[in-house]
Structure 1
Amino acid sequence: MNLIPSYSADGQTHGRFDYAVIADWIPPGERVLDLGCGDGTLLRYLRETKGVTGYGVEIDAQRVLGCIRNGVDVIQIDIEQGLQGFEDDSFDHVIISQALQAMHGTEHILEEILRVGREAVVSFPNFAFRANRAAINAGHMPVSEDLPYEWYETPNVRFFTLIDFEELCAQLGIEIRERLAFDDRGEPVTDDPNLNGSLAFYRLGRAG
């Protein structure tokens, strides 16, 4: 997959294929909320390529400063406490990109994002990826580009698989409208994505 230029707080460009995946699901001009937005590079990319408006949500003070440097409107709140400050259907899309695994209240967060947004885009590293299984089989917690932390320093508190996530969506009455999986080289996976996919992307909506 082609790498798409993105921008960090230092103004440098970097290749991020995941931005292109998410952008494909966001129509031009939409109102977007990005939860756990880091330094705001995804929202900056979406603004520059799709003309979106909206906000990032981030709790880390240094990352909030990064958002400001990137010209991204950011709100410093703890996602774990919910999104009470946002009314129902405030946004066309709510994005939570590679941050859900760091959240304690997974069910509540998923319900909240589909309360304030008409549709959601969620991405996360797949703990059942074959390289991760091999690491566990060898007696170690996996470390990879998508799971880059050692066990003693990881911010991740939930380790789940594509199957786990889809079962939770079914329990919560969340409709999975589209799913994409990619291997550790950023190549799309269609054959047994729960085994061969390192990173998963889901487009979600309310069922019914």
Structure 2
Amino acid sequence: MTLRADLAIIAQNVAPGSRVLDIGCGDGALMAALRDERGVDARGLEIDAGNVAAAVGRGLSVIQGDADIDLAGYPDASFDYAILSQTLQTARAPDVVLDELLRIGERAFVSFPNFAHWRVRLSLLWGGRMPVTRQLPESWYDTPNIHHVTIDDFRAFLRPRGVTVEGAWFLSGDKKTTSSAANLLAEHAIFLLRRA
């Protein structure tokens, strides 16, 4: 099975044999790849019951839960990595979720669509409407995205929090792009974080 581009980057950068919590794990595709290819002890938290059933059907340890309220029950430093892929922008309290990620995991991967990508800007400028793209496939009224975060917003968000960026990857389509002008040119961002 081929992983989505951001998940493939995360999978390549998780140390073999690690303990991982994938928050918003969807159908468990990343967890299955980590288990099968890297010998990772992967656990998952997913809000959608259908996705939970699909992940459990793959033999994965996934429970139904909400990142906004259910992370508090996990002990400090109980995982090597906490992963939040394409979920930050859907959280009601992304600041609290990020704090929880870095409390639960020694490191955290966070990926999100970049709402400052040039196509998004152009759609707003010329069409005056919220864009529908491959990365943002839902209409404004039907999207789970409640926080329209940009790469520059996220970097500014991290600064006062005492968070160190250990790695950052930027995607245009499914291909990596440079960090230079990433806020304009990247459709998607992946960050590897740890507490300073």
- The TM-score bracket by the shorter chain reads over 0.9
Aligned residues: 195
Q: Does 1:149 align with 2:135?
A: no
Q: Does 1:86 align with 2:66?
A: no
2:89 maps to what in 1?
Answer: 101
Percent of residue pairs bearing the same amino acid type: 40
1:52 maps to what in 2?
Answer: 40
Measured in 2, the distance between the counterparts of 1:61 and 1:16 equals 21
Measured in 2, the distance between the counterparts of 1:191 and 1:204 equals 19
Match of 2:114 among 123, 126, 148: 126
**Contact 1:82-1:108 at 8 Å conserved across structures:** no
1:160 maps to what in 2?
Answer: 149
**Contact 1:88-1:115 at 8 Å conserved across structures:** yes
Measured in 1, the distance between the counterparts of 2:84 and 2:174 equals 22
Match of 2:52 among 64, 68, 71: 64
Partner of 1:92, secondary structure, is: strand
So what's the TM-score if we normalise by structure 2? Answer: 0.95
Question: After TM superposition, what 4+ stretches of structure 1 lie above 6 angstroms from structure 2?
Answer: none
Q: Assess, with a 3 A threshold, how the Cα gap between structure 1 residues 171 and 70 changes in structure 2: closer, same or farther.
A: same
Shift, 1:185, TM fit: 4.3
Match of 2:6 among 3, 14, 18: 18
Shift, 1:99, TM fit: 0.9
**Contact 2:5-2:174 at 8 Å conserved across structures:** no
Q: Does 1:192 align with 2:181?
A: yes
Partner of 2:138, secondary structure, is: coil
Alignment RMSD: 1.2
Letter paired with 1:16: R
Match of 2:167 among 175, 178, 190: 178
Greater RCO, CA 8 A, separation 6+: 2
Which segments of 5 or more consecutive residues in structure 2 lack a partner in the other structure?
Answer: none
So what's the TM-score if we normalise by structure 1? Answer: 0.90
Measured in 1, the distance between the counterparts of 2:39 and 2:119 equals 38
Which segments of 5 or more consecutive residues in structure 1 lack a partner in the other structure?
Answer: 7-14
